[in-house]
Structure 1
Amino acid sequence: MDDIVRQALAKWPNVPSCTGWLMLDRRGNWRMRDEAAQASGSPGVPVRHEALLGFINRNYDCDERGQWFFQNGPQRVYVELGYTPWVVRLSADADGALALQDQAGNAFEASAVFADDHGGILFADDHGGILFADASTPPRIAVLHDHDLEVFADHAQLADDSLSGEFRWNNGVVLTLEPLRRDDVASRFGFVQSPAAIA
């Protein structure tokens, strides 16, 4: 969190939070949602300003109820999620080494991989070895950007049902592709997809 945000929180600790105004879409784009966008259910306008994107990404966090938010100075802006709290891009370098990077530009280390019943691929990052062992700290879950499904397929061996198989990760690590219902993702990984819906 930025120092300026910490200072604003200390100075104005009781600023009401807001919901519905910011969305992280299925492709990792931050979107501003005015009243018309919220009323129509549209995703809103993509944020393009680089400094603002950096500010959002640095001040993106989760509360104790699994609601993700952007701490905008003293105000907590709860985020509507297009799917998961993280969206990752998958790339392979010239030597075939794979890298996952989240929407904030940070490395994402895959510890598990899932295929949902809508054709989406998800990765879990286990925070250094606690995957599913500590329910109080759920692993980060990220959906793979759909433009990178071909890269994924180049390193996966899928069963006929396309919901199971194996994914060949770095250093000879093979991750078992596990089936997962899209409707179960939020509860299994401890996040709220729409804070506005429960506000």
Structure 2
Amino acid sequence: MQEWVERAIAKWPNVPALFGWLGLTRRGHWLIQGERITHPRIVDAIANNYACDTHGRWFFQNGPQRGYIALEYTPLIARVQADDRLLTHTGQVIESARALYLDENSAAILDTPDGAALIEGADLAWVLEHLRDGDSEIDDEALAAALATPSGDTTELTLMAFDTRLPVHRCDADALPARLGFVRDPEPRDDEAES
């Protein structure tokens, strides 16, 4: 969190949280009441003050008020950079991951220490370049077999990334939040005030 946010929280500690106003698309665009936010300073402010609470709900801390964010897919969206690094939609470099998940629609999600990161559709070529079937590059048959693996199971594939070999799991899109510890549609808890 930025310093001004921490000062505002200290000054006004009991401002009710906001639910149902903010969102994040699967392409990494912020929304307010369904409309895309495009003003660069606002986009940067959200990115710099975006975090997760202990219940897996992602939010934007706007001064003393916490605005919870409805996620179209995952809390982070990863994009491949020219130097082959992965960068989240918030500008954070992904330096490690625990595993890669493939959903029933061939979406690729990294389980990172900072949260679940969908590799944006245009960058799926990066995933294909780094997938391995044993020590070999994958072919169509190996990929099809991995995608046919039942949800919740580990595939035969691995992902060579971050100087390590990561397991590749199959997980249906609806099961990802529980598996990776995030909430797509945050709601207030009984002990919280809502505005």
Superposed pair shares fold, TM > 0.5? yes
Deviation of 1:168 (Å):
2.4
Runs of 5+ unmatched residues, structure 2 = 132-137, 148-154
**Deviation string, structure 1 residues 8-61 (Cα, Å, up to 9, x no partner):** 11221121111111111111111111xxxxxxxxxx222111111111111111
* Equivalent position of 1:112 in the other structure: 99
* Equivalent position of 2:39 in the other structure: 49
2:167 paired with 1:176: yes
Q: For the structure 1 residues 113 and 74, does the alpha-carbon distance in structure 2 shift closer, same or farther, using more than 3 Å as the test? A: same
In the alignment, the residues of structure 2 paired with residue 149 and residue 187 of structure 1 have an alpha-carbon distance, to the nearest angstrom, of 24
> What letter is aligned with 1:123?
L
- Which among 105, 113, 117 is matched to residue 142 of structure 1? 117
Runs of 5+ unmatched residues, structure 1 = 34-43, 128-138
* Equivalent position of 2:127 in the other structure: 152
**Deviation string, structure 1 residues 116-161 (Cα, Å, up to 9, x no partner):** 1121101012x4xxxxxxxxxxx62111111111232233224333
Equivalent residue of 1:161, what SS?
Answer: helix
> What letter is aligned with 1:169?
A
* Equivalent position of 2:158 in the other structure: 166
* Equivalent position of 1:195 in the other structure: 186
- Please give the TM-score of this superposition, normalised by the length of structure 2: 0.80
Matched-pair identity in %? 35
> Which aligned runs of 4 or more in structure 1 are off by greater than 3 angstroms?
196-199
Kept after mapping to 1: 8 A contact 2:111/2:180? no
Kept after mapping to 1: 8 A contact 2:97/2:162? no
Number of aligned residue pairs: give it: 172
Deviation of 1:196 (Å):
4.1
C-alpha root-mean-square deviation of aligned residues, in Å? 2.0
- Please give the TM-score of this superposition, normalised by the length of structure 1: 0.78
Deviation of 1:110 (Å):
2.6
